[in-house]
Amino acid sequence: MRIERWNEKTDGKFSESAMQKKLERLGYSVSRYVYSAGTYFPDHTHDVDKIDGVVSGEFKMTTPEGEVVLKAGDMLFVPRGTVHSAEAISRQAVVSLDAVKW
């Protein structure tokens, strides 16, 4: 499970637009989603390489390698075909940047 946490020394001040620009520089197309508390996505896969980036809230992601709670500035790399599930576990909504690379 590859997780990258925002590093202000190398990435600059964290913001939604800064994360979006970073993901786009990596060659990903980015969409913004807001998930209400308790939103759950059961095990599934994608036919694209994907990064789930969290702008705010807490998003629990589970893969065969384990479980991680992503917080603001965290990004989880999900290679195509990887079985994973996700759950918005914070009381407030999760704002997520969904980045895909074909």
Query: How confident is the model over 10-48, as pLDDT tens digits?
Result: 999 999 999 999 999 999 999 999 999 999 999 999 999
In CATH terms, the fold of domain 2-101 is Jelly Rolls (2.60.120)
CB under 8 A, 24+ apart: contacts of 63-71? 63/1, 65/1, 66/1, 68/1, 68/3, 70/3
Q: What is the structure's pLDDT at 66?
A: 95
Q: What is the structure's pLDDT at 102?
A: 84
Q: What is the structure's pLDDT at 43?
A: 97
- Is residue 51 a contact partner of residue 30, using CB atoms and an 8 Å limit? no
| pTM more than 0.85 | yes
The span from the CA of 2 to the CA of 95, in Å, is 20
H/E stretch holding 70 reads strand 66-70
Question: What are the extents of the domains in the chain?
Answer: 2-101
The length of the chain is 102
